[in-house]
């Protein structure tokens, strides 16, 4: 495994990819079990996992929660147009979005709009309040178009490591 810097792409070998694949499927797997699955000694496996964490390849361990089962019934996608393309406007927008727990994902977009948000709320009324309070000029936003998906076909948190 070649690790240079957190900002530089890391060259992963077959064993690294296998470790990541297993951890993507079960982040709670015990090191001894992971080592057995991969075919490494526990100490060698733990060393590789630590190197992947230090390199920023493995960023975090988390629990995936079903939003509907906890009362967050709506997932919406908001296309955002900013008041300008200057660094100050973009930075203001980015910092504001980082602080909003309803914003699950935020992307700066190259295309028709300037940004795309994935927002989760209990209902449409809560989204209306969220939009009127936060998706405004004070956060550098000039226009918002919201899309409501009618069905979730696929949602994955596992990267396709076989593609690299």
The whole-number pLDDT of residue 2 equals: 42
Averaged pLDDT, 107-134:
97
The whole-number pLDDT of residue 31 equals: 97
pLDDT digits (tens, 9 = 90+) for 51-109: 999 999 999 999 999 999 999 999 999 999 999 999 999 999 999 999 999 999 999 99
C-alpha span between 114 and 49 (Å, rounded): 37
The whole-number pLDDT of residue 7 equals: 55
Question: Where do we find the tokens 């940004």?
Answer: 115
Where does CATH 1.10.10.10 sit in the chain? Answer: 14-55
Which class is domain 67-147? Answer: alpha beta
Q: Which CATH number is 14-55's, of 3.40.50.2300, 1.10.10.10, 3.40.50.720, 3.40.190.10?
A: 1.10.10.10
Task: Name the pTM for this structure.
Answer: 0.84
Q: What angle do CA 21, 22, 25 make, to 5 degrees?
A: 90
Where does CATH 3.30.70.920 sit in the chain? Answer: 67-147
Q: Write out the E strands in 60-140.
A: 74-82, 103-108, 115-121
Averaged pLDDT, 138-163:
93
- From residue 47, alpha-carbon distances to 30, 34, 53, 94, 106 in Å are 14, 12, 10, 35, 33
The whole-number pLDDT of residue 6 equals: 44
């Amino acid at each position: 495994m070649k690790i240079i810097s957190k900002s530089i792409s890391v060259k992963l070998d077959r064993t690294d990819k296998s470790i990541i694949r297993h951890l993507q499927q079960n982040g709670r797997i015990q090191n001894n079990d992971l080592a057995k699955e991969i075919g490494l000694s526990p100490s060698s496996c733990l060393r590789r996992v630590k190197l992947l964490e230090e390199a920023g390849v493995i960023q975090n361990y988390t629990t995936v929660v079903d939003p509907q089962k906890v009362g967050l019934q709506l997932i919406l996608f908001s296309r955002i147009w900013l008041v300008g393309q200057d660094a100050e406007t973009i930075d203001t927008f980015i910092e504001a979005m980082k602080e909003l727990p309803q914003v699950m994902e935020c992307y700066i977009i190259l295309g028709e709009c300037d940004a795309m948000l994935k927002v989760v709320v209990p209902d449409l009324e809560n989204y209306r309040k969220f939009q009127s309070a936060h998706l405004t000029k004070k956060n550098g936003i000039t226009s918002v178009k919201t899309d409501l998906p009618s069905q979730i076909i696929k949602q994955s948190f596992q990267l396709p490591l076989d593609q690299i």
